[in-house]
Amino acid sequence: MEYVYAVLLLHAAKRDINEDNLRKVLEAAGIAVDEVRLKALVAAVKEINIDDVIRGATAAPITPAVSTAPTVSQPSAQPEKVEEKKEEEKKETVS
């Protein structure tokens, strides 16, 4: 991701996106530069219009996430009543 951020930073600063500039940005951020990734990214970026990509990304509709949290069911009062009745019956038979 750091490489993409560096490309966006260079683009925002209106600097040429080339290997040297990209390397300088990454090194300034303290990131170890992988030359293969650097060359591949520069080659890929030359073929796209970054402004169009940014416009397309900001124009994409954002859908709210659907909550899938389980619902907590309220314990019913009936089982307690049944237990109370059983206890009362036991007390009556013991007496």
**Per-residue pLDDT tens for 39-94?**
999 999 998 988 888 888 776 566 666 666 555 555 555 555 666 666 666 666 66
Residues 6+ apart with CB under 8 A from 21: 10, 15
**pLDDT tens sequence across 3-45:** 999 999 999 999 999 999 999 999 999 999 999 999 999 999 9
Predicted local distance difference test score (pLDDT) of residue 90:
64
- Fold held by 2-59: Arc Repressor Mutant, subunit A (1.10.10)
Predicted local distance difference test score (pLDDT) of residue 56:
84
DSSP string, 10-36: HHHTT---SHHHHHHHHHHTTPPP-HH
Residue 47, both tokens: 């073929």
50 DSSP assignment? H
Give the Cα separation of 50 and 11 in Å (integer). 8
Predicted local distance difference test score (pLDDT) of residue 78:
57
pTM of the model: 0.57
Predicted local distance difference test score (pLDDT) of residue 17:
93
Predicted local distance difference test score (pLDDT) of residue 80:
59
How many other CB atoms sit within 10 Å of the CB of residue 1? 5
